[in-house]
Structure 1
């Protein structure tokens, strides 16, 4: 485990900007990673470098050729990082925008009267796109209810709603509200058993920072991530699409290459910073394994990240040292259960007698950054069925420490309404 290797957590933290202090607030603990992870220092340096370069791709000059090579290298890196042996990667405005484009394309090419299937656990990025474009394309939207108790949706839940005339399906890989991961491969396999030619689009935005991406095993047609949630920066999203989704008629310039999905001249720096992120996973995998193959090192990093983050969330829930855990604090309620194996580095709670926003403010005053999730257009699909108007989201990543968890617990045990 990461914390069992001497000096490794310190080496990890040293690679991230603002790991223990906010440039506006001062010293703080960062437990707001689901809202946007910390940024690698290498990403900040690369962003500055490419922001200063005036040249664009597609020109006959040395700089332009170099930019094209950097983009191609990044696409190759992404294929290794996410284990994609086919299909293509491209960048867009954001993960949300890319989900809309993929879902829109699948829907408008589907026969009228067929079905779009999605789940109530999904972030509105995919739910909104699927419902909007199902209506425009003359398709029926079918909702698969998630479990309020576990904060998940399963393959068997999908099985009850998928029919042979299902032409588009959406899946959430991990919830930014409950923090629970879904078995994407099992859900996709279940869909294909009933509707083999269905186009399956996956929202991987919350899952990506926690490692273990394996597109070849999912059997999906589209997958989107938001790089600012996986140690890069704001301003772009990354999508992967299968060869069959690539080939569908889609928004494009007249007479442009049929397989192209990007609009306009893209920022080479966005691609280059993804190479920085992947190099970081590669480095980490080399620290926690003896693997020599790059994909094997990335897989090792993902396993180590998952194990360590589970260790941290277990400490948060069960206690550490002489501090009681969240489950032992009578004034605290844990969403989706204290013992939930689907959890990915995130614990959402409520505090009796206190509005969640007030708890977040109190934590901020103690230098602990968390976030309020409200029953609004972002989180109402999860909170409303629980009878909650809000909750406190505590989200961590593998650069957080057990000492930081202890400081959180020390404050929360004394917070009362």
Structure 2
């Protein structure tokens, strides 16, 4: 496992840019991964290479054909990475833009008298799109309340409000506020047990960096990620859609292929960097297992990442060495409970007597990068029911270390004197 192999941790960290220092700040610990993970050095190199190529993919010349091959290969790599034996992948402006597009298409094609179901834990990327297009399409919107104490919504919660008229459903795979992962396969199964033809669309943006994805097991129609949150770069999102959603009437150019969803010229570099990410998971899987098949190595990497990040969050909550954990600090409250097996590399806290932005700034001055979540249009659905105006989000990835966690605990412990 990763936590038992210092040489592997060093090798992992060596593959990422700015792992322990910021070009603007200097030395720092990066616990702001939910806002955007670190970028693979190979991604930086690949981006620069393709940014210099003037040719359009697909043109009948060596560069045009070569770049199209790179895009096609990346889509094959995505199918391997996310275990998608059917359907198609395409890129868009961002994960949020793609979720709006998929949800819009599903809603405008829903039958009259249909319903849209989603949960209160969801990021506004899906909640906003579902409510807007349910209204425009004259569909009833059904809200599934999440549990404030655990930060979760379950299959049973969805099942309690399901009817055969539900035509569109949205699911959040992991919350960027509570850090909790939802059981997508179980929720999808509960939805299809009542409404088998429902179009199900998943926001996988927060989950992607923290473990494997298995679209074949989920039985959904859409799944969206933001590559900058899974070790690639900013500027685009990636969507997978089922064959059924692919063929649904959607925005497209006149006389274009009926299942085409892409608009304009593709950015070869964005697709090429996705292949870099998949290659990284393949490499890591080979380091933590003896698997020889690429998909098996990717699955092994996902399991190892999950175990190691659980190790780090447990150290943060319960303490490490002679340092008390966050749960043992009287001035700290942990959102969604201290013992929550659904947690995916994220701990959100509040500090008694201090506004969260002040805590984040205090930590930042000590070279510890965290982030404030406020009860605004992004996080109010989680924080307002808890009576909280804000919280401090501490988010990590598998390139973080227990030593970094220890430095955070020392700094948070010292906040007691300021609160």
TM-score normalised by L of structure 1 = 1.00
Relative distance call for 1:287 and 1:144 in structure 2 (3 A) is: same
Following superposition, the deviation at residue 6 of structure 1 comes to 4.1
Partner of 2:200: 200
Residues 256-267 of structure 1 aligned to structure 2 (within 5 Å): 256-267=256-267
1:360-385 superposed Cα distances (whole Å, 9 cap, x missing partner): 00000100000000000000000000
- Please tell me whether residue 163 in structure 1 is matched to residue 152 in structure 2: no
Which residues in structure 2 correspond to 1:10-25 (within 5 Å)?
10-25=10-25
Paired position in structure 2 for 1:321: 321
Q: CA RMSD in A?
A: 0.5
Partner of 2:304: 304
C-alpha distance in 2, partners of 1:5/1:409? 23
CA distance in 2, matches of 1:282, 1:84: 16
Aligned residues: 417
How do residues 74-223 of structure 1 correspond to structure 2 at under 5 angstroms? 74-223=74-223
Distance 1:7 1:28 in 2: 21
The separation in 2 between residues aligned to 1:176 and 1:59, in whole angstroms, is 41
Return closer, same or farther for 1:349/1:6 CA change in 2, 3 Å cut-off.
closer
Aligned to 2:291: 291
How far the C-alpha of 1:266 sits from its partner, in A, is: 1.3
3-state secondary structure, aligned to 2:75: helix
Question: Secondary structure of 2:414's match?
Answer: coil
Look up the match of 2:250. Answer: 250
Following superposition, the deviation at residue 398 of structure 1 comes to 0.1
Q: Secondary structure at the match of 2:10?
A: helix
Instruction: Report Cα offsets for 1:121-159 as digits up to 9, x if no partner.
Output: 000000000000000001000000000000000000000
- CA apart distance, 1:3: 2.2
Structure 1 residue 112: Cα displacement = 2.3
Q: Shift in Å at residue 212 of structure 1?
A: 1.3
Deviation at 1:65, TM superposition (A): 0.6
Q: Given the superposition, is the C-alpha separation of residues 379 and 148 from structure 1 closer, same or farther in structure 2, using an over 3 Å criterion?
A: same
For residues 238 and 338 of structure 2, what CA distance do their matches in structure 1 show? Answer: 33
Q: Give yes or no for the alignment of 1:372 onto 2:393.
A: no
Corresponding residue SS for 1:257:
coil
Query: C-alpha offsets along residues 269-324 of structure 1, whole Å, 9 cap, x if unaligned?
Result: 11000000000000000000000000000000000000000000000000001100
Secondary structure of 1:413 counterpart: helix
Please give the per-residue CA displacement for 1:47-78, whole angstroms capped at 9, x wherever unaligned.
Answer: 00000000012211011110111011000000
Q: CA deviation at 1:408?
A: 0.1
SS at match of 1:223: strand
How far does residue 239 in structure 1 lie from its aligned partner after superposition?
0.3
For 1:32, the equivalent position in structure 2 comes to 32
Q: Give ranges in structure 2 of 5+ residues lacking alignment.
A: none
3-state DSSP of counterpart to 2:67 = helix
Aligned: 1:362 with 2:366: no
Q: Which runs of 5+ in 1 are unaligned?
A: none
Corresponding residue for residue 336 of structure 1: 336
After TM superposition, which residue ranges in structure 1, 4 or more long, deviate above 4 angstroms? Answer: none
- 1:5 Cα offset (Å): 2.1
- For the residues of structure 2 that align with 1:101 and 1:266, how far apart are their CA atoms? 18
> 1:33 deviation in Å?
0.0
